[in-house]
Copies of this chain bind each other. A is one copy, B any other.
Amino acid sequence: MKAYLECIPCFFKQAIETARFAGASRKTQKKIVDRIAKAIPGVSLNISPPEMGELIYGTVSKVTGKRDPFRKVKDKSNKLALELYPDLKAKVARSRDRLLTAVELAIAGNIIDYGIENTLNVGEEIKRILSAEHRAIKKERKRLFNYPKFKRLLKKSDKLLIIGDNAGEIVFDRILIEEIMDLYSGKEITYAVKEKPIINDALMKDARQCGIDRSAKVVSTGLGIPGVVLKSCSKDFVRIFRRADMIISKGQGNFESLSEQKREVCYLFMAKCPVVASELRCDMGDVILLCQGREG
């Protein structure tokens, strides 16, 4: 997905919020805004929003000198999600369609995001997404919640690649991975995190904190942008991407940067911004399971 003009005001907003988060003074915040403003005329709208994200968050890091301003937030999100883990496992265990519940939880976990909204209303979100009412809605709008296709692809695929998104959220992904391992034998699952700190995206450290490495091989994309731009990823990651039978991509940033890929990818995320919602013809807050691209 290409960036829209509407993304530009939002980039400035995110830069100011992150700069404040990093403890920058008003003067430093203005310096950051000025640097980004200077760069805007050179930025093409043919790149995806996460590629712009590198400019925004990279500038904040450079000017404030804080390499990972969201480290504490990430630790907190991981801790919170790990506390929820036993309850979530129980929810999956007692549900009629365990895989569906695990998929829904993996999407619900995507509410843990500091790039756009600062809320962490995870409990409420889980309740909403798992409700009978919401299941009926999802069943009706099959285009954006194509669970039958997801299940079909999963069944026939041996090598899975799951591209993670945020810290905390990855605990929810762990539950999905464990469920897949329980349901099907012989699947080889690789889980990708970001190489360098970017917003609250999960890093190798988070994958370990959250126990993902117990059930999946954890690799990094090689990047420090809030998405996956294949031409810039590490060779190792690109090889894994090409060889995977099925790719599951978590979060809006990964969708924004991968959606023009030819390869079929199953995107699991919540529509968190008006631009993405309008691109998908859905409402903000909608729960998305979109299988898009040519079958591998």
Contact = CB atoms under 8 A, between A and B. Distances in A.
Interface stretch (A38-46, A111-119, A203-211): A38-46
Contact of A16 (B5, B16, B41): B5
B26 A16 contact: no
A8 B34 CA distance: 10
A87 interface: no
Contacts of A12: 8-9, 12
For chain A, what secondary structure do more than half of its interface residues adopt (helix, strand, loop), or is it mixed? Answer: helix
Contact of A37 (B6, B26, B40): B40
A6, A9, A16, A45: residue with the most chain B Cβ atoms closer than 10 Å: A9
A33 interface: yes
Contacts of A45: 26, 30
A13 interface: yes
Nearest to A13: B9
* In the complex, the 10 A-B pairs of residues with the closest C-beta atoms, listed nearest first: A37-B40, A34-B41, A9-B12, A9-B9, A9-B13, A37-B37, A5-B16, A5-B29, A8-B12, A8-B33
Interface of A: 5-6, 8-10, 12-13, 16, 26, 29-30, 33-34, 37-38, 40-41, 45
